[in-house]
Structures are given as structure tokens and as C-alpha cells.
Amino acid sequence: MVTDLAIDVHDLSKSFGARKVIDGLTLQVPKGEICGFLGGNGSGKTTTIRLLCGLLKPDGGGGTCLGFDVIREAVQIRQQIGYMTQRFSFYGDLTVAENLEFVARLYQMPQRDRAVRDVMQRMELADRATQLTSQLSGGWKQRLALAACVLHAPQLLLLDEPTSGVDAKARREFWDMITTMAAGGMTVLVSTHYMDEAERCRRIVYLSGGRLIVQGTADEVVRQTRLITFEATGPDIDRVAVALRREPGVESVAVFGRALHVAGMERAALERVIERYRGGLSWHEVEPRLDDAFIHLLREQGSGG
């Protein structure tokens, strides 16, 4: 069956003992899309990724990944995807090239030497081919892991918090590579806690308690929260921020440089608070940021809302 969906699953459920980790999850990801997977710790992101690539079998529900059944054709799925886990898992006592050669053998790739040379060139690893993996910085380990994921030319990349623990420059370079590959037709599902990364995704999916809570573009997700946000500039905003966090009707307070953001759901309550803290500060209403929406969703789901 020909489909424009790389991922098309419905009503997935998964429990470990008495704990239900995935609860009726339905997800569709079109081919060629970068889809961001957001949610708090324990929301089910990693388990969902493992269900999609056939490393775990769902207790209920089903569907397809790259046109293959997630239950009956898990082996075929794993041959067509690249999965980058949270934990770096390559051999530190092998060189960069040797690790990639090992991966090429696992996939029984023809012309392995050429494939390894090509991927090292694309990922700018050629100059480090003979360097021991244990000697690489976090950013270069990340490049090696991505190179191993795309060595066999997969149709789908599943990335589980791939940039955790690396510096801003390495994160930017990593995402430039991901965007380039997506432009070439590769589908990417990436879990992240970084809002600047989520904003680079075409679509965002937010999970909580193993359920899909909200999805859409970054702007759509922000609008669906119906948050109201005011910004203040002026002196002593750090002290004001501390005081505002104790005020009724204020859901979140964050300082961005010389600006203070205050968010909540009730306009009248926010306006009453702002009136009490107007002295010396310049206030105006602004569009909520994605991180405002993310904090709101975390708070709402954590309180059972």
C-alpha cells in the first residue's frame, strides 16, 4: 500500500507491570517532515520511539512505520530506519572509521569502505577517521552517532534527545545537518527539551502520561494553550520576578535578559497583579513564547488538568 505517511499508528498502549506508559496513542507523521516530540520526563517519548522501530511490542493498537506493520514486520522496519539513542554507545577503543566499518558490517552493506568514506566526508569526520572514539568531544561523538544512523541511507530517523549535553555551536551544526537531510526527503522524529530546536520542527507533538495532548506547528501549539502573556522592562526585574511568582493568577514568570515575562490564563487576574507592580516598569502584552506554552502544559498535566 502506497502512503504519504512515514508513521501511521493508532491506539498504541504499553505497560510495564502495573504502570501504563503509553495510553491510546495515535500518531501520523508525513514523509519528509521533521516532527518534534516534546514532553516531560516519563511522558512516554522514548517508549514510543522504541515501539515505532520494533524494539518493543505494543500491548494494544497497531499501525505502520514506513509501510511495515509495527507488530509483524519489526525486522523490516529496523532495516529502514536510523535510531540515535540518548546514550552514546560506540566503542571507545576503536577509531571513528573502525566504528563506522563495524556498523556497515552489521547492515551487510555492499561497498562498505566507500560508504564509510562517503559518510565521513558528509559529516566532516574524515580528518578524525583514525582518532579513537574515546578521545572525541561531545559534539564530535554526536556527529559519529548521526553518521552511523544514516550510513545505510535510512528513510526515517528516530532521534531521542540527540543534542543533550553538547554546546550551542554543536547543536546548531547538528540541526543544520538534520534540516539538509529532511530537505532531501528523509523523515525525522526527534525528541527534545530545547525550545529553539522544537521551533525548527515543522510540527510539534506534546505527550503527557503516554497520551498525545496537543500537536501542530509551534504557533498553533502556543495558540491552543490560550495563554496570556505580558512583558515588563525596567529596573530591578529580578527582584520583581521573585515577588510575582507568589501572586495569584500568575502561572509562570521568566526573565529574558532585561525583559520579564508573566503568563497566566486569566486576563483580569494578571492585570490586577501588573497594576500593583507598575511603578518604574513598562508593561505591554506580547505573544506567548513556545517555552511559555511548554511550562504551561507541564504544569497543567502535572496537576491533572
For residue 87, the Cα-to-chain-centroid distance in whole angstroms is: 15
- pLDDT score of 2: 47
Residue type, 54: G
pLDDT in tens, 7-61: 999 999 999 999 999 999 999 999 999 999 998 888 899 999 999 998 999 999 9
User: Which residue intervals of the chain bear CATH 3.30.70.100?
Assistant: 228-287
Q: What is the pLDDT along the chain (305 residues), one digit of tens a residue?
A: 446 999 999 999 999 999 999 999 999 999 999 999 998 888 899 999 999 998 999 999 999 999 999 999 999 999 999 999 888 889 999 999 999 999 999 999 989 999 999 999 999 999 999 999 999 998 899 899 999 999 999 999 999 988 887 888 888 888 999 999 999 999 999 998 888 899 999 999 999 889 998 999 999 999 998 999 999 998 889 989 999 999 999 998 989 888 999 999 999 999 999 998 888 899 999 999 888 888 888 877 764 43
User: Which residue intervals of the chain bear CATH 3.40.50.300?
Assistant: 5-218
Do you know the residue count of the chain? 305
CATH of 5-218, one of 3.30.1950.10, 3.40.50.10490, 3.40.50.300, 1.10.150.120: 3.40.50.300
- pLDDT score of 133: 95
CB 202 within 8 Å of CB 294:
no
Q: Which residues contact 143 (CB under 8 A, 6 or more apart)?
A: 123, 124, 125, 174
pLDDT in tens, 273-302: 999 888 889 999 999 988 888 888 887 776
Rounded CA separation 151/291 (Å) = 34
Phi/psi of residue 177, each to 5°? -65, -40
Q: Residue 81 is placed in which grid cell?
A: 530506519
Rounded CA separation 232/101 (Å) = 56
The burial class, CB within 10 Å (0-12 / 13-18 / 19+), for 38 is buried
- pLDDT score of 295: 84
CATH code: domain 228-287 is 3.30.70.100
CB 244 within 8 Å of CB 281:
no
- pLDDT score of 62: 95
